Chain A
Amino acid sequence: MSEWILETQSVSKSYGGVRAVDQVTLRVKRGSVTALIGPNGSGKSTLFNIISGVDKPDSGKVFVSNNDVTGYPPHKLFQMGVYRTFQNPRLFFGMSVLENTLLTVKSPGDNPLRALLPSEWVNHELNIAEQAKEILELFRLSEVYKNSASEISGGQIKLLQLAMALMANPELVLLDEPIAGVSPHLVPTIFDALLRIREQGKTLFIIEHRLHELFEVADWVYVMGRGRLIASGPPSEIVRNERVREEYLGSSIV
């Protein structure tokens, strides 16, 4: 197994003349918790889009477990073990909490012909339902299992996102601001979830606005500013980094 689960090489992406991502080269170690921070508009989400296949880079390459996945469509990257959440949660609001959770797992019933014969997929369905039950209970979402995803609270939506990430059992989890905007009393729950995911040997690559929340857990930090990678290192070094402080223009990064 490769040491680096994710690698980008000089990845660039422009939108209408603006360089959203400018020659970013970084590596994420397998099993680590890596943070990607930077002020708004620094290109973090765009980078995630490129890594998860939502956007194609204008130039540069992306590697997952040493495989060149540049330009792969999102569903292929999922199959390679890359899971990604969105800053504005993209759930399926026409379906229930349970259905959203079950969706993250491949099933023999995904094929329309097999779907017609329940015997082909019912056992698998019951198994994953068991898993879903455990996971939803972890996040205290099991009471609302049959509620439509449009009926639950904002905090519950964020928790559901993490539940789905856990359920999908990926190798690399790309989380786009999982903590920002969550009410303080839910933050411990989310932290527990992140640690649990990490305990299972998965890699976490997390975008956050500021380092504060991730300071304790992050093994490595990348800092982006105006599309470029401006610093990288362990949290303790980053806090003292002058360039980083400049980029945040006086506002605290911790």
Chain B
Amino acid sequence: MVLISCVFFLPESLAQGPPINTETPILLGLEGGGFRTFGKIVSTDLGTTYIQPLAIPYNLGTNFQIGVMQPFISIYPKIGDNNSGFGNLSLFVKQMLFQFDSKAKTFRGLLKYTQTFPTGASSVSADNYSSQFMFVAGYVNLNYSLNGSVSYTFVSKNLPDNFVYDFAFGYPLLPQKYPPFQLNLYLELNGQKTLKINKNLLFLSPGIQLITSSTFLLESSFQIPLVDDSGIIRNTFSFGIRYLVF
């Protein structure tokens, strides 16, 4: 049960960057229609959890996106049986709120709503609904990017709501050109406060991202807990790909 809670308490582990663990308000290119998957390993004092989500966003026009996310979760406790299965399904929508463009730079903001349903296997997922409301803003130019988000999640069945905040700084190592071949470094802060029980979690997340073409990228991130009121999380590691199909 504690390891299932680790999945539940993970701060925005299923975000759709770039950046890697933080949302972005840009709905274009590799943020748009396609699929994203990554493997995330969460190491704790009680065991290890492996999460493999598959997210498929689709743009309806320039300013609106819908999507679905289905994770597959495996739990390997130090004591007890291993368990694997599909986690809870989430549907999401994004609506652009503002867009200020100038030469080689942009500042944008959007709202995202995510609804999670208790469709997953009981051995690996919590049996509750959750509704998340998120505001995302980002400033991107050719030299760096800044993205951030704040969100509030309402959780059913008297489980505690949570407040999540993320911030990411991105730095391209190669000159920006098209067709793209980019190597980006990211440094992110991903935090969460679980209300009612008043538990805090904050990760420092360095990451690297290789964009090999207009339609494909590879990325990897390591999350180091700076604050962990649960006292059990050691670190997390993720490796993923993104492929644009639409």
Partners in one complex: no
Name B's A-contacting residues (CB within 8 A).
none
